[in-house]
Amino acid sequence: MKRSLNLTVGLALFATFSLKSADAPKPPRAARSVHLGFQAPKATLFYNEMVVEESVNGSYFMAAGWNTGYFGIQQLSSPTNKVVLFSVWDPTKGDVANAVPLEKRVELLHEGEGVRIRRFGGEGTGGQCMAPLAWKIGETNRFLMRAEVQGEKTAYTAWVWRGDKKDWWKLATFRTQTGGQSLTGLYSFIEDFRRDSKSATERRRARFGNGWVQVLSGEWAPLTNARFTASSSEWEAKETIDAGHSGGWFFLATGGKTTTGTLLNSRIELSPVQRTPPKLDLFEARITVDTSEVPDLNEWGRQARELCEKWYPKIVDLLPTDGFKPPTTVNLVFKKDMAGVAAASGNRIEFAARYVRSHTNDVGMVIHELTHVVQSYPPNRVGWLIEGIADYIRLFHFEPEAPRPRIDPNRASYRDAYKTAAIFLDWAQQKHDKELVKKLNTALRERRYRDELFKDYTGKTVDELWKDFTDTLRKKD
């Protein structure tokens, strides 16, 4: 009887313990996502600044979001593994990227230097641009988003300010179906995407300020009013969130020991002070195409324009000179009776229609001529070097995997220009001075080029370098 009673009591205690265990709340997996929804009119430009004050691995600080995408910075797997991220959604529902019909997918119109472009899924689908960016705690990060309505679609372009280079980095341009919308539904957020339970116990905080939009009329309007909201996933920490304003900035915080000082859905308004719109020194080029003499080349011309839109800013970055600004308009003109291949003069490139029809795959020559537009050198007598630099850009940046022509060391000369000079310049640069082409480019632009500069930069004359170069070719033979 006693044994039976003990067994009954034991079963009851086990049942009670099991019930309590089943009812015990699970610890949150992640810190709650917190947002600022800005009160703003429809716009063509969205400018915002953000200072990250506290961060941990697996954090996304999104500065410039709108109803079709978002743009910000992330800390990935370590404090030194940081990126800038820009994403635009497809106009479809679902989370499987490859299931979206091609005609519904986000289009890539421009790919900046050093970025990675891919499609994404899981939380909607679309196009994504990611690039390394060594942002720092306490530093001001600057973001700019532009929307260009193109019929029933909108093209979105993202720039981020690079403090070390003192320039705006054009990351990418994505185009998607919007029904002709401009920028609407502007917001910022902080997100914990690590979601390993420990991340919920860690704090993230950032300030957002000096936000502006350029409205459809062209005037600038400051962002001084925002609504505080948060996500509602059941696996997030609910109470450790906050938002507000301090020192003329909005702020958001989530996770760790954060305490709430502002109620959800509250309006936060910055104090009225005199504000000055941002001064933006952006390099943008307009590419035009004229195929009126040869309408059968309309499609080829369209592809050439897209190629130029993508590569013109890249070539500008590859051939920089302090204070120099290349043409902001490039005109591509296809000529019915033109002989030869193509020719550039000023900001105009003429293409021989007969050559294009018989060499439809030779898009490298577009890059060569486009480089001449970027060069914009004053008159000089070093044509071999000008053509060599143009083909250097073509061969070693645009077509790095293309076969190289064989150079006969006994008959060739660097004065043969074009590919021969390009290969020679690359060899000299790799062997002696990693900035050789940029230095020669600047000297040509500034009217101070002379052959003696080769010795200044490499320690050898151009003829001595050519002899060394041809000696290496003979050894290979």
As a whole-number percent, the residues of the chain with pLDDT over 70 amount to 95
As a whole-number percent, the residues of the chain with pLDDT over 90 amount to 86
User: Which backbone phi and psi does 188 adopt, to 5 degrees?
Assistant: -135, 160
Each residue of 431-448: pLDDT tens digit? 999 999 999 999 999 999
For residue 24, the model assigns a pLDDT of 65
- List the single range of 83-97, 220-234, 267-281, 420-434 with lowest mean pLDDT: 267-281
Which residues neighbour 433 within 8 Å (Cβ) at sequence distance 6 or greater?
Answer: 439, 457, 458
Each residue of 59-73: pLDDT tens digit? 999 999 999 999 999
- List the single range of 75-79, 222-226, 280-284, 399-403 with lowest mean pLDDT: 280-284
For residue 7, the model assigns a pLDDT of 41
For residue 377, the model assigns a pLDDT of 97
Each residue of 103-140: pLDDT tens digit? 999 999 888 888 999 999 998 999 999 999 999 999 99
Each residue of 327-371: pLDDT tens digit? 999 999 999 999 999 999 999 999 999 999 999 999 999 999 999
Residue 5 has pLDDT above 60, yes or no: no
Contact by Cβ (8 Å): 342, 352: yes
Provide the pLDDT confidence category of residue 175 given band limits of 50, 70 and 90: very high
For residue 111, the model assigns a pLDDT of 87
For residue 9, the model assigns a pLDDT of 44
For residue 23, the model assigns a pLDDT of 59
Q: How many CB atoms lie within 10 A of CB 46?
A: 27
Q: How many CB atoms lie within 10 A of CB 208?
A: 26
Residue 14 has pLDDT above 50, yes or no: no
For residue 22, the model assigns a pLDDT of 53
Each residue of 368-392: pLDDT tens digit? 999 999 999 999 999 999 999 999 9
Which residues neighbour 188 within 8 Å (Cβ) at sequence distance 6 or greater?
Answer: 35, 36, 38, 48, 50, 62, 63, 64, 65, 72, 208, 250, 252
For residue 313, the model assigns a pLDDT of 85
Provide the pLDDT confidence category of residue 285 given band limits of 50, 70 and 90: confident
Domains with residue ranges and CATH for the chain: 30-269 (2.60.120), 286-476 (no CATH)
Q: How far apart are CA 71 and CA 88, in angstroms?
A: 9
End-to-end Cα distance, the chain: 102
Q: Which region, left, alpha or beta, applies to residue 52 given φ > 0 means left and ψ of -120 to 50 means alpha? A: beta
